[in-house]
Structure 1
C-alpha cells in the first residue's frame, strides 16, 4: 500500500469517531476526542515516536534529533471538526505529519521532530476557536474557563470530566527557545489550486479576522396600518447593510460575510423593530481588513440614519493576520519544487488555522493540498491520492531543506 493510500484510509478511520453518525462531528473534550487522540497516538507509536497527551488535550509525539533534548520542529494540524464535517480539514494534516515522521525515523536531524494533533481548532463546542493551539502558544486566557457549551457545561467542568487539571493547562505551553518552527499541511479550502491544475501551494499569510454583532434598531408597528413614510423597518435597513458588505468587500479585495440574521419580533404582520446581524471580516493584512471596516461602518451608519434607524456595534472576535516566516516559506517552496512543480503558487489563507496561534511563539509555514472544488466544512470534502502523495513528498523535503539550513547556520 502506498503511503498516500494509507493516509487516506486513516482519515476514514477517524471518520468513525463521531458523535452524530452518519454525519461527522468531533468536538473538544468529548469521548470522540479521546478516541481520536488514542488512535493518533497508536499511529505515532508505530512511527517510532514517544507519545503523550498534553495538559490541554493535544495529542503529541516526538522523535529525538541526533542528540536528546534538541529544540523541535513541530508538524501537525487539528483533530476536531465542525458539525457535519468533511474527512480532511485538519485530520489530513495530522495524518500526513505522522507519515512524514515515520519516513524520517532513522534520519539524524539537527532538531527533534514532533507531531501534534491539536484538540480544538474549530471552537464548535465552546464557541472559542484555537483553544488547543493557544494553550501550546502560552496565550491561554483564564476568562475562558467560564465558557459554556450548549448543555451549560463550563470549560472548567469539561476539563475535569476529561481527566485534565485546569490548574495545569500552563504546562502545555512551549517556550520559543525549545522550538525550531511549525509546519502545517492542510487542504486549501478554496478553488485556486484546482483552477490552476496544481497539486500543492505554499501559504504566504493567514487572514486577520474580525467579527461583529450589528444591531439595527427601528420600530415594530402594524404591517397593514403603517404607511411607508412612517416606517422604521430594521430588516430593510439590515438588508441594505448586507448588500453593502458584499459590494464593498469585493471592491476592497477582502472577504466579508453576514452568516446570521435574527429579526424581532418575527411576526408576519409586524414591521421588524430590530435586526441583529453577524459580520465576519477577513483580509491578507490587518490594514486592509481594518480599512474596509472603517469605510463599511460609515456607510451602514449612513443608511441607518437615512431610514431613521439606530446602529449598535459589538466586536466579538479579533485575530491578527499571521504572515508565514520567510525561511519556512522557502522550505515549503523547496519541498513543492522537489515534486516537479518548478513555479509553486503562493496563496494567502482566508481561513484560520492553528498556525495563527502558534505563530505567536515560533515561526510558522503552511503547505496547501488541492481539494475538489474548494469544498470544505462539508461532507463533500475530497482529495486525490496523487495530490496527497505529492504533499507527503513535499512536506518531507521541506523538513530536510530546513535541516540543511539549520546545519549551515550551526557551522557558520
Structure 2
C-alpha cells in the first residue's frame, strides 16, 4: 500500500470556499438548486477537472467526476457525499466528504497512481431534504428508487422539485436516466462527520460505521376551529395548537419508552398565525428513526394512534401522511474491513459505530455495497453554525479514507483481473 500524501492546505481552503457559498450570514444555508448551490457546484466541477477527472452532471443534478487512470477497466468504485445543507447548518456536514473525495483523487493524480478499478467522485444534489422535505433525492435517483411522484414535492414557496429542476436547466422527465447499472458499480464509500459524541468520548479521530438507522418521516395536520382570542370561552375552544402541543409530548414519551428509537417534531406551522386568533390548523413534521425497522414502525404507529386519541378528546381531527420510509442498512463487511485496516495502519483501534443519522449510503445500498468512515466533530454538534472538526482530525480522516478506498478497490473480486493499484505514469 503506497504512502500517498494529501495536501491539507488545499483541503482546508476548499472547505472554506464551499462555506462561503451560502445564503445568509449565520452558519451555512445551501439548499438544492439555488444560486448558492449552483456556485458551489461550479467550484466542485472546476476542482474535479484540476484532479484529472472527466466531469458530467446527471439528470437530477448530481455531479460525477470520473478518474480515467485505472488499469484496463471493470466496475467503477464510487466515493463522495452531498453538497446541500440544512438551514443555518455547519461547514463540514456533507462538504467534508465531498472535499475528502476530491482530495483522494487529486492525491492519486499528482502521485501518478493507477487504481485497480475505475474511480468516480459523486457529489449528490439533495441529501438533507431541507428544501423539499424529502431526503436523499440525488442518491435515490442514482440508485433507481426515486419515484415520479417525488417530482411533485414542494418547497416553502410552493415550488415543486420538477419546477426547480427546470429552472436549473434540467429536464425533470429525464430523472430515470440518472439510474446506474449495479453491474457497473463496485461499491460506494463516504467520509462524514460523526454528528454525535462517541468518537470524542473515546478519544479517537475516526471510526467505522457499522450500519445506518432507518427512518420514517411524516407530515401531520391537526385541524380545529379558528376563533376570536378574546370572545371564545376556554371550554368552548377547539385550539389546534393546544392539541399539537399535547401530541408533541406524546411523541417524546413514546420514543423514551423505546431505547433503540428516536423521534422528533422538527417543524410546525400555525394557521392563521395571528396573535388574536385561536389557531385553527397546525401542520408539522414527524421523524422517527431506529436501527430496528420493526420497532421504528411500531413506534410510529403508536404515535399516530395516540395523536388520533388526543385529537378526538379535543374535538379536533388528526391525519399524518408518510412521505419517506427507508429501512435500516448494514454496511458491507468487506468495506468495513478495508476501513478498519486503514485505521489500524494509522495507529488507532478501529471503533465500529452505528449511525443514527441518514446518509446517501442509505439510498446507495439499493444499488451496491456501502461503507462509511466517521470523523470526530467537536461536542458531537452538527446541523448548527458551531459544527467544527479539528484540522488534525480532518488530516487523519482524509488519509485513512484514501487508504480505505484503495484497499476496498484492491479487495473487490473483479480487481483480480485488472491488477492491484500501482504507481504509473499519469499524463
Aligned length: 409
- Aligned to 2:98, what secondary structure does the other structure show? helix
Question: Is the contact made by 1:64 and 1:70 (CA closer than 8 Å) also made in structure 2?
Answer: no
Q: Distance in 1 between matches of 2:172 and 2:319?
A: 36
Deviation at 1:45, TM superposition (A): 2.3
Q: Distance in 2 between matches of 1:149 and 1:264?
A: 18
- 1:62 equivalent in alignment to 2:66: yes
Find 2:56's aligned residue among 52, 58, 64. 52
Find 1:80's aligned residue among 58, 72, 84. 84
Report matched runs for 1:135-150 at 5 Å. Answer: 135-150=141-156
**Counterpart residue number, 1:258:** 265
Q: Distance in 1 between matches of 2:79 and 2:126?
A: 16
Deviation at 1:349, TM superposition (A): 1.8
Question: Is the contact made by 1:237 and 1:307 (CA closer than 8 Å) also made in structure 2?
Answer: yes
5+ residue gaps, structure 2, are: 418-427
Question: Is the contact made by 2:27 and 2:91 (CA closer than 8 Å) also made in structure 1?
Answer: no
Q: Distance in 1 between matches of 2:354 and 2:220?
A: 27
1:165-192 CA-partner distances (Å, limit 9, x unpaired) = 3344333221001111000101111222
- Aligned to 1:190, what secondary structure does the other structure show? coil
- 1:325 equivalent in alignment to 2:329: no
Question: Structure 1 residues 5 and 251 mapped into 2: Cα distance closer, same or farther (>3 Å)?
Answer: farther
- 1:311 equivalent in alignment to 2:318: yes
Question: Is the contact made by 1:71 and 1:177 (CA closer than 8 Å) also made in structure 2?
Answer: yes
Q: TM-score, normalised by structure 1?
A: 0.88
1:17-53 CA-partner distances (Å, limit 9, x unpaired) = 2343565322323333332222222222222222222
Question: Is the contact made by 2:223 and 2:281 (CA closer than 8 Å) also made in structure 1?
Answer: yes
5+ residue gaps, structure 1, are: none
1:340-393 CA-partner distances (Å, limit 9, x unpaired) = 122x22222222211122111111111111111122222211101111111112
Find 1:377's aligned residue among 383, 396, 401. 383
- 1:339 equivalent in alignment to 2:368: no
Q: Distance in 2 between matches of 1:355 and 1:289?
A: 19
**Counterpart residue number, 2:245:** 239
- Aligned to 1:128, what secondary structure does the other structure show? coil
Question: Structure 1 residues 361 and 305 mapped into 2: Cα distance closer, same or farther (>3 Å)?
Answer: same
- Aligned to 1:28, what secondary structure does the other structure show? coil
Question: Structure 1 residues 37 and 272 mapped into 2: Cα distance closer, same or farther (>3 Å)?
Answer: closer
Question: Structure 1 residues 58 and 19 mapped into 2: Cα distance closer, same or farther (>3 Å)?
Answer: same
Q: Distance in 2 between matches of 1:125 and 1:311?
A: 25
Question: Is the contact made by 1:201 and 1:345 (CA closer than 8 Å) also made in structure 2?
Answer: yes
Question: Structure 1 residues 28 and 338 mapped into 2: Cα distance closer, same or farther (>3 Å)?
Answer: same
- 1:405 equivalent in alignment to 2:411: yes
**Counterpart residue number, 1:127:** 133
Deviation at 1:224, TM superposition (A): 6.8
Deviation at 1:198, TM superposition (A): 1.5
**Counterpart residue number, 2:296:** 289
1:182-221 CA-partner distances (Å, limit 9, x unpaired) = 0010111122222222211221222211122333445567
Q: Distance in 1 between matches of 2:70 and 2:252?
A: 53
Question: Structure 1 residues 113 and 23 mapped into 2: Cα distance closer, same or farther (>3 Å)?
Answer: same
- Aligned to 2:412, what secondary structure does the other structure show? helix
Question: Structure 1 residues 146 and 50 mapped into 2: Cα distance closer, same or farther (>3 Å)?
Answer: same
Q: Which moved more, 1:109-118 or 1:316-325?
A: 316-325
Q: Which moved more, 1:25-34 or 1:303-312?
A: 303-312
- Aligned to 1:341, what secondary structure does the other structure show? coil
Question: Structure 1 residues 152 and 103 mapped into 2: Cα distance closer, same or farther (>3 Å)?
Answer: same
Question: Structure 1 residues 309 and 141 mapped into 2: Cα distance closer, same or farther (>3 Å)?
Answer: closer
Question: Is the contact made by 2:213 and 2:291 (CA closer than 8 Å) also made in structure 1?
Answer: yes
**Counterpart residue number, 1:175:** 181
- 1:186 equivalent in alignment to 2:192: yes
1:57-96 CA-partner distances (Å, limit 9, x unpaired) = 2222122364344211101001122222311111110110
Q: Distance in 1 between matches of 2:321 and 2:396?
A: 44
- Aligned to 1:51, what secondary structure does the other structure show? strand
Q: TM-score, normalised by structure 2?
A: 0.85
Deviation at 1:115, TM superposition (A): 0.8
- 1:364 equivalent in alignment to 2:365: no
Q: Distance in 2 between matches of 1:218 and 1:51?
A: 53
